Structure 1
Amino acid sequence: MSQASTQIINPTFAGNGNPDLGYNPAGARNTDSAVPLHPTEPVIHDYSCDGPAAGRLGFRWTYGSKVAAKNRDPRVQVVQYNEDTFVLRQNVCVHWEAPFTYLLFGNKGALLIDSGATANAQHYPLRDTVDKIMTRWGQARGRNNVPLTVALTSGEDVAQNQGLVQFAGRPDTNIVPTPLEAMKRHYGFRTGWPSGTGAIDLGDRVIEVIPTPGTHKDGVTFFDPYCHILFTGDLLFPGKINISNDRDFVASLKMLKAFAADRSPKWILGGHVEMMFVPGKYYPRFANHKPYERILQMAPALIDEALQFAREVQGKTMMLIRPDFALFNGVSPDQRTQVWPDDIPNISPPHPF
């Protein structure tokens, strides 16, 4: 008998292989949350777990075309991180910034973080895509009605606020107000901005809202304690980070560092990808063909690196290149560096095929 066949599995940790657990009825085709195939009543999922919930981002994003008009990729690419977490990306040939949006589910509702760069629903069918995901999710969970909250990492960011109009008038939808003062009242940031935290309760999955101005005066970061993911928008992402207020930027990164030390995030997911897989190299603005992108997810350790170099550019009009991001403080986003950092290999990226 092989060693594998003699292993003893502890039923407490057997997950879907443990029929003694109440949510694992015998004979059911169970998914991560062990949902019956055709539930007759709303399924309640347990979002409490030790450490981050499992999820997967092992894939390649569509990367556009040399001639945008000939591109035939989906206008919205959808990737399911896990049963209750979806990552959506706008086609780079619809808008060159190709922003990401995130759809999270709980037992009482769903949250859409950011809304993309295009208002026209024919060019960028975000609402239709979200509606279809929510319908399928609701059917799997035995729910006919799933309330939706739409919130932005920044109401100022035109690459993330244009799709908001698609959700105007949508039933059972709460849109977090975008004017700064109204947004602060909504989250309860009545005094002391930018300090404290707010919350969005999705039903046993409470998303924390952290004030993080610096690239935008109304910037916020969302933390999901279920997947242990920080959604940072324009504050920290693999691309050209345009600092609008360097004092706020440094303060927000300090706050994020302290928050991460307490919460132990697994990933940072920002609003864009602009860096190539070659360290320190990035795509120019308006490029709609990006075949050699860096991956979206960033390790939490990059908060420390971003803070270190944010302090270096503070009070200076300059740009600074790092392997995974570039800081632009008071300079044009088209600024070119005259001095390449000594600690980053200067590798020429491949020519686009």
Structure 2
Amino acid sequence: MQTGSSETAVPCVVVPPKKLANTPNGDPEQAYNPPGVRNTDSCLPLRRTGPVVHDYECDGPAAGDITLRWIHGSVVAAKNTDPRVHVIAYNEDTYILRENPCVHWEAPFTYLLFGNSGALLIDTGATPEAEFYPLRKTVDALVRRWCQMRGRKTIPLTVVLTSGEDVAQHQGRGQFVGRPETTLAPMELAAAKQFYGLGEWPKGTGKIDLGGRVITVIPTPGTHKDGVTFYDSYNKLLYTGDLLYPGRIMIANDRDYVTSLTRLKAWSESHTVKWVMGGHIEMMFVPGRAYPRFRNHREFEHVLQLEPRVIDEALTYATGIVGKATVVFREEFILLNRVGPDEQVYRTGADMPEIPVPFWLP
């Protein structure tokens, strides 16, 4: 007589299929997109019948990474043979450019963003002469390359500035005067507010639509009275210029500076922010230490990108020095309020790790 099976019944569990993230132009989880490589899907179909159109609506930041050492200059600037403009492709629609420190010691960064109907150049470097700093030639080459990939003849370019006052960020602007299909944002604050659609300064935000890729313009005075920050909705990056970067931050108006950081903190709490991308690198890899001004050789620099938590940290310490002539040293930045740019450059903060600078560093 059969009494039944002695095996224990195993319940059938139905595993729902994994919900695919909406990353139309590059899935970071794919094996062909490891960090530090291309970080995006190819936009070169074998058979193309028209211009390639990208979908810039994606879950989280678009694929992209920075895993390299920037050109860091030479002890003897005149003997430097590196490119005058260092370019990396963050992804197919985003390029980061750096001026060679041997061309200008501030070695500012410039950002070139592409959308389906327009391109945006954020800041233009510290050197006007194309002979020494071929920014337009470099940008033109990148635009041609991008248009070839997308099956286009050309694309309009808009040139904007994180500050019209910042000499280290607008000197190359003149190279784009007279360039076809190019719009230059005004350098004067009153005209710039109208250009960006900003009403009651510094409240509100403006928009630059590159064709599916929207860039938000956020007023952030404090280091400059006309300072603005650009938020890239595709990469989830904040381009902050002189407001917040790994270096000596010269506060021009401490109350405005605190208000602007408060505005960025609120923005980062309501929007995804992957990194804060400033206009320079001045810090060393040693916490709290910065290279002196006018140094053309900075071999052991801090990385460019800052985590969004740095906004909170800068806000906390900036709030505490309103009205005071002082310097605040943090691991990734230095705040200088109502003092000169060389005030105690080498001092470290009391609550930071005491890491001695190697003997070969200044």
1:40–1:352 Cα change, 3 Å:
farther
Secondary structure in 1 aligned to 2:306? Answer: coil
**Range moving further from structure 2, 239-248 or 39-48:** 39-48
CA distance in 2, matches of 1:69, 1:57: 28
Match of 2:356 among 337, 348, 353: 348
Q: How does 1:127-206 map to 2 (within 5 A)?
A: 127-190=136-199, 192-206=200-214
Partner residue in 2 for 1:287: 295
Report how far residue 264 of structure 1 moved.
1.8
Report how far residue 187 of structure 1 moved.
1.1
Cα distance per residue 1:169-202 (max 9 Å; x no partner): 0000011111000000111113x21010001110
C-alpha contact (below 8 Å) 1:320/1:326 kept by paired residues: yes
Partner residue in 2 for 1:91: 100
Partner residue in 1 for 2:263: 255
Secondary structure in 2 aligned to 1:313? Answer: coil
1:104–1:337 Cα change, 3 Å:
closer
1:337–1:160 Cα change, 3 Å:
closer
Report how far residue 10 of structure 1 moved.
6.4
TM-score using structure 1 length = 0.90
Partner residue in 1 for 2:3: none
Is 1:126 the equivalent of 2:143?
A: no
Is 1:57 the equivalent of 2:59?
A: no
CA distance in 1, matches of 2:96, 2:346: 36
Q: How does 1:290-309 map to 2 (within 5 A)?
A: 290-309=298-317
CA distance in 2, matches of 1:272, 1:307: 19
Report how far residue 12 of structure 1 moved.
5.4
C-alpha contact (below 8 Å) 2:26/2:62 kept by paired residues: no
CA distance in 1, matches of 2:66, 2:91: 9
Partner residue in 2 for 1:42: 51
TM-score using structure 2 length = 0.88
> Which portions of structure 1, spanning 4 or more consecutive aligned residues, are displaced by more than 6 angstroms?
13-18
Cα distance per residue 1:284-312 (max 9 Å; x no partner): 00000000000000000000000000011
Is 1:100 the equivalent of 2:109?
A: yes
CA distance in 2, matches of 1:339, 1:71: 30
What fraction of aligned residue pairs are identical, expressed as a percent? 59
Secondary structure in 2 aligned to 1:332? Answer: coil
Cα distance per residue 1:43-80 (max 9 Å; x no partner): 11011111110101011101110000000000000011
Secondary structure in 1 aligned to 2:148? Answer: helix
CA distance in 1, matches of 2:327, 2:105: 22
Report how far residue 340 of structure 1 moved.
4.1
Report how far residue 40 of structure 1 moved.
4.0
One-letter code aligned to 2:187:
T
C-alpha contact (below 8 Å) 1:188/1:198 kept by paired residues: yes
Is 1:115 the equivalent of 2:124?
A: yes
Secondary structure in 2 aligned to 1:103? Answer: strand
Report how far residue 39 of structure 1 moved.
3.5
One-letter code aligned to 1:86:
Y
Partner residue in 1 for 2:8: none
1:31–1:279 Cα change, 3 Å:
closer
One-letter code aligned to 2:115:
G
One-letter code aligned to 1:287:
R
Match of 1:264 among 257, 272, 283: 272
CA distance in 1, matches of 2:284, 2:162: 24
Matched positions, count:
334
Larger Rg, first or second structure (1 or 2) = 2
Residue ranges of structure 2 left out of the alignment (5+ in a row): 1-16, 28-38
Report how far residue 99 of structure 1 moved.
0.1
Partner residue in 2 for 1:4: none
C-alpha contact (below 8 Å) 1:39/1:140 kept by paired residues: no
